[in-house]
Amino acid sequence: MGKYILKRMINLAVLFVGITAISFAVIKLAPGSPAGIYSFNAKVKTDVSKRIEKLYGLDKPLWQQYWIWFKNILKLDFGTSLTDGRKVIDEIKERIPITLGINLIVMFIIFSVSIPLGLWAGYKQGGLFDKFTTILVFAGFAVPSFWLALLLMQYFGVDLGWFPISGLVSVDFDYFTLPQKIFDVAKHLVLPVFVASFGSLAGLSRYSRSKTIEITRANYIRAALSKGLPVRIIVYRHILKGVMLPVITILGLSVPGLLGGSVVFETIFSIPGMGLLFYQAVMMRDYTLIMGLLVISAVLTLIGNMLADLAYAWADPRIRYRRN
């Protein structure tokens, strides 16, 4: 096992350097230049962009820039944003809790809804419930989230007035009591969380449905049935176990997604998360911020992959032995 982990680690380090080098090159080669300060304004002098270039060493050759940047990264120094002069790490730090928090809720909902959904649909394959959920999850998958979001905002926000349109808290949040605050946040989260979860039900529920169908045909389930075990116990004890095992992989793979945040979703609901930060950084050609965000998501993806592999190896001895 130790050797296996070591091998994986070396692999990861090489991958990491490769990822950063390629993304650095791609971003620098993309046309355009840091636009934060360069608004197209006749009163604004354009030599400012030259000053910025000098200040941040953007006039040096590409490989030198990369080397300087890479050395700093090893010291965990992500540099300062080209647009507002703040530390990249600080900008990321204030956004992470928002995206992470929402995504955890969303993921919790996806798992707790789509696995039972898939289980029942699979167990009662071809039944009314199966057909209904199939239509539902595929509709969720197919509907563009921004469109659904706007419809819901119009209906529940404007017409019925039940939920706030956007943002995470009310304008008067500071002056609320604690229960009011909790209620306020919850009210703001209903629409975004619903929209984000609804679109992602399909994948997992389809997966657990097909896995259920596969397991239901297995001999041990037939044995359990003929033993006279209640269906409830068969489904939740025996089938669920089989379905859950590969879920570990899915969990591992969703680690980077937890921090990624979607641009469309965050824009529509005015949620100042990581997705929006990344989008704005790209539009501004804020190189240091882009690279900071990329490194973090690359590291997380790699860690997520590794965790998934390790967990799998731990849970399923066949993999461990084959690799060794």
In the list 174, 179, 217, 232, the residue contacting other proteins (rule: CB under 8 A) is 174
User: Closest Cα partner for 110 from 231, 305, 258, 293?
Assistant: 258
Site string for other proteins, 96-115 (x = CB under 8 A): -xx-----------------
* Only segment of 15-23, 35-43, 64-72, 247-255 that touches other proteins (CB under 8 A): 35-43
37 near other proteins (CB under 8 A): yes
168 near other proteins (CB under 8 A): yes
Q: Which amino acid appears at position 6 of this protein?
A: L
Paired strand residues for 87: 80
**Whether 323 contacts 313, CB under 8 Å:** yes
164 near other proteins (CB under 8 A): yes
In the list 62, 84, 230, 231, the residue contacting other proteins (rule: CB under 8 A) is 84
Cα 291 to the center of its chain, rounded Å: 18
At residue 285, the 3 state secondary structure works out as coil
36 near other proteins (CB under 8 A): yes
> By rule CB under 8 A, what count of residues binds other proteins?
59
Cα–Cα distance, 67 to 63 (Å, whole number): 6
Cα–Cα distance, 122 to 127 (Å, whole number): 9
276 near other proteins (CB under 8 A): yes
In the list 111, 120, 269, 278, the residue contacting other proteins (rule: CB under 8 A) is 269
SS3 content of the chain, % helix, strand, coil (to 5): 75, 0, 25
User: Closest Cα partner for 279 from 294, 263, 295, 267?
Assistant: 263
Tell me the closest approach of the beta carbon of residue 47 to other proteins, in angstroms.
Answer: 7
Q: Which residues bind other proteins (CB under 8 A)?
A: 31-33, 35-49, 51-52, 55, 80, 83-86, 94-95, 97-98, 150, 153-154, 157-158, 161, 164-169, 171-175, 266-272, 276, 280, 283-285
